[in-house]
Amino acid sequence: MILGIDEAGRGPWAGPMVVGAVVLGDAQIAGLNDSKKLTKKRRELLEVEILSSAATTGLGWVSAEEIDSLGLGPALRLATVRAVRQIDATSRAYDEIIIDGTINFLDETGKGRFVQTMPKADGLVPAVSAASIIAKVARDRFMAEQDVLYPGYGFSGHAGYGTAKHRAAIEALGVTPLHRLSFAPLKKYAKGGGDVAAEKQEFPASPSTKQRGDRAESAVEEYLTACGHVVIERNWKNRFCEIDIISSFEGSLYFTEVKYREGDAHGDGLAAITPQKHTQMRFAAEFYLAKSDTYSQGVTQLAVASVSGESYIVGDWVLLDS
């Protein structure tokens, strides 16, 4: 049960970048290979078979704006995390993660230690080949659809890559919201002619401890919302206790402690929950329930979320009492 991961669209001047993630399981699909070595028609046929036969699949997208704001490397990490979250949401197990290339894009998460990087894996490992194919087909399909919104650029032909036709279209028509203005050939079109990635940098180089905590909580709130939770409170506190995030999901109430670490070397969030901290969390939850008329009944759960790295990636969200 290998989880294969590969990306499509790292180098184009325009459009999103897409990371594919596939667990093939028992599926035996003939003809899998690096998507770049397959014809368009063959890729599309294989995509149908992969989506119908694989144990589970996922796609993680990042927009041109996110690439400009974060930088190519952090954006690729974010797309990888988004793809893996889709896999995890299916509750399908996998034993190993193989990422095409030499960089572990999950090293800031709790899954980093299960990753093996492998150059040319998209032509060697079937699950990675499948990930390469579904990412490429999904991105090419998206770019073809953009011809309707932005006629004259020829996105269906070059998929956003820096061809001579694409360059001529930009010079004649200007840039669109799809264009990555942090890429060197397009920087002159950015406001003021500067580096958009620097201008849009969301976080300062050395945020305070409180800022790090707030950003970590925001990342967990986004994660829980994506999983279907309704966030009821953030930073609920009184003079006796406090709770980082309170959310509801399918009739249960969840009290989540958010723990931020710069990297895996500092330990995950679960390691920070000592017996004393666990007791404090339970007391805070009971105190909240005693004060609440709306949520005084029902199942309650304590949880801890581990957030790490400069990209504030949610690595794990773990129930403490399960």
Q: What is the CATH number assigned to the segment(s) 209-319?
A: 3.40.1350.10
Token digits for 149? Answer: 């919104």
Residues 6+ apart with CB under 8 A from 8: 17, 18, 19, 20, 35, 132, 135, 136, 138, 139
- How many angstroms separate the Cα of 249 from the Cα of each of 230, 277, 287, 300, 306? 7, 24, 20, 10, 19
Please determine whether the domains at 2-146 and 209-319 fall in the same fold group of CATH: no
CB 267 within 8 A of CB 229: no
- Closest C-alpha to 122, from 53, 35, 11, 27: 35
CB 182 within 8 A of CB 196: yes
Residues 6+ apart with CB under 8 A from 134: 20, 22, 47, 50, 51, 57, 59
185 alpha carbon, distance to own chain's centre: 27
> Which segments of 164-208 does DSSP mark as H helices, in order?
164-173, 196-199
CA gap 281, 290 in Å, rounded:
14
CB 61 within 8 A of CB 141: no
Mean pLDDT (10-residue bins), the chain, 322 residues: 95 96 93 92 95 93 93 93 89 87 90 93 96 96 93 94 93 94 91 39 49 84 86 84 89 89 54 77 85 69 85 81 60
Cross-strand bridge partners of residue 20: 6, 59
In the chain, domain spans: 2-146, 209-319
CB 191 within 8 A of CB 273: no
Phi, psi of 250 (to 5 degrees): 50, 45
The H or E element spanning position 105 is none
Give 171-222 pLDDT, tens digit per residue. Answer: 999 999 999 999 989 999 887 443 333 333 333 344 567 777 888 888 888 8
Q: What is the pLDDT of residue 228?
A: 85
Handedness of CA 14, 16, 19, 20 (dihedral sign): negative
Regarding pTM above 0.85, the answer is no
Taking each helix axis from N to C terminus, what angle separates 126-149 and 40-53, rounded to the nearest 10 degrees?
120
CB 117 within 8 A of CB 103: yes
Tokens 């940098």 — which residue? 201
CA gap 125, 132 in Å, rounded:
11
What count of other Cβ atoms lies within 10 Å of the Cβ of residue 299? 9
- Closest C-alpha to 21, from 33, 3, 8, 35: 3
CB 103 within 8 A of CB 83: no
Token digits for 238? Answer: 């009184």
Q: Which amino acid would we find at residue 294?
A: T
Classify strands 252-261 and 299-308 as parallel, antiparallel or unpaired: parallel
Total number of residues shown for the chain: 322
Tokens 């939850």 — which residue? 285
Q: Does domain 2-146 have CATH number 3.30.420.10?
A: yes
